[in-house]
Chain A
């Protein structure tokens, strides 16, 4: 089921949580809403679910205007960060709940509900735990039950709010792979919220980067990482280093020296240079490069991170070197970013 969010604005007691957000979600897509806390990602998810009502704008499921429908009518599967299982029900009763509360002919007979529940338990790899209570399960198992419960009602969309947020790193990684598998097998349109970029980039078909109630960029992991369209996305996704620079005659300058980067289309004036610390070219001589004295050097796993002080202003910038690179021993290092981007100075 396609989901279309059209110019939605949401205010909480006059305080805007979302400003005019629009988003098209394709049928069968696995999409991540990524952003720091307070960016409005959970609010957007809850609006799609119907747990909140938009102050302005509409949400469409296919061609239906869902904004007029109640939560119950929307038929969405929602998975909460803290599972929200029904403590007084067994695992099987939890999963069957959505079918049991139906009325009339749409309610399957008890035996059918039981069969569906154990089928879903097989899918989430918890076969045989029908009779357990939520308190007797581990965090990862509870979240699987929560997902099975959400899928039991054959939802139009599956919405997951920080589904792995409360779990430890090992289980998180495992469940991440497993969720991708389940998605590929069942093909539900799925939206999940996370503040973990690794999770978003690895798992999702497309990532929606949000900040301060706005969508900053929507794209595949490659697009988001390689061509960030704003300083926020550049610094939020992955590692980044920045340097204040000046653009003149289509060249990038630091203080009074050109650094060998040409930017023919950039407007002249102050700008900020963004690049990835690991994506740099180390140079010996320095005619058109960035050079600085080593202020600190730290070994981080397979690389060495070096902090340089650049120019008279002693602007600090971080780059990564191979561990065995001779430059790491020197007191002065010269480099040029391979891939970079200029944004106007704020």
Chain B
């Protein structure tokens, strides 16, 4: 076999035996342009009409900064919580056979299906100071509803299936023999989890995290019911955008949206880089 000298820095990968590479790539690009790229560039275009000074003023406004901080912070914490407990749920579903397993399995998808506003109202009712759970937490001095903590709770609810559904299939593929091999070599349960299982799951866990995080950043419906929406305290960025829209302040709305877009893009890029690193390292 001869290897063509690599003159160009990079080239298209040799297409596979299945024809239609040109057609499918063309279609994918056109589709993505239509569905994602055009609306998003419209957003950037509108906010660009604002001019640098105005844009900068809106971007550094205390209220905007707080809203962004709450949105991204709460989404980050919620995604982190989901990584821990979502992985646990996936583990239980994959590893154990118990009556009602299928029901639990189906329940995981409910946050996908439920209108988010319904979820928000239900959670608010539960966590309000006189609600079922809220009245238990109130004596401990923990307030959930109408605080940033409530936002986290709502985002945990919304994000759970993303982690479970990305980790579960990878977990199912884990070869039981690999664990047995580790056990015969003297590794205890904890060492098997940390040294054998976790490295294999890391890429899936990171994917689940990024999906849950992205969903949390953009979440609106469930959060506005439980958050209380106090400016500077528990107001999320998507809500601020809606408020600006209702004030017919379109440039400000698009400016905040463009900021969110930029931040999300940067964070997802970082997550993707982390993932390709872990994939390289952990195969």
Contact = CB atoms under 8 A, between A and B. Distances in A.
Q: Do A and B associate with each other?
A: yes
Interface of A: 49-51, 71-72, 74-78, 80, 82, 84-88, 97-98, 101-102, 133, 135, 146, 149-150, 152-153
Interface stretch (B89-97, B107-115, B172-180, B228-236): B172-180
Nearest to A75: B186
Main secondary structure of the interface of B (DSSP, over half): helix
Given A84-B175, A88-B282, A78 B188 contact: no
Interface stretch (B133-141, B153-161, B194-202, B209-217): B194-202
Contacts of B177: 80, 82, 84
Given A87-B200, A88-B200, A135-B283, A101 B188 contact: yes
Considering residues A51, A88, A135, which has the most beta carbons from chain B within 10 angstroms of its beta carbon? A88
B188 A71 contact: no
Considering residues B175, B181, B200, B282, which has the most beta carbons from chain A within 10 angstroms of its beta carbon? B181
A82 B281 CA distance: 22
Contacts of A88: 199-200, 281-283
A80 to B, nearest CB: 5
Contacts of B196: 86
Nearest to B191: A101
Interface of B: 175, 177-178, 180-188, 191, 195-196, 199-200, 281-283
B179 to A, nearest CB: 9
A50 B185 CA distance: 12
A101 B184 contact: no
A87 B177 CA distance: 12
A97 B178 contact: no
Contacts of A74: 184
A169 to B, nearest CB: 24
15 contacts: A50-B184, A71-B184, A75-B186, A76-B184, A78-B180, A78-B184, A84-B180, A86-B178, A87-B282, A97-B195, A98-B186, A101-B187, A101-B188, A150-B184, A150-B185
Top 4 A-B pairs, shortest CB-CB distance: A98-B185, A84-B177, A88-B282, A84-B181
A49 B184 contact: yes
Given A80-B177, A101-B191, A135-B283, A86 B184 contact: no
A97 B200 contact: no
A74 B188 CA distance: 13
A149 B283 contact: no
A78 B183 CA distance: 10
A101 B185 contact: yes
Nearest to B190: A101
A72 B187 contact: yes
Contact of A84 (B178, B188, B283): B178
Given A87-B283, A88-B200, A82 B184 contact: no
A97 B281 contact: no
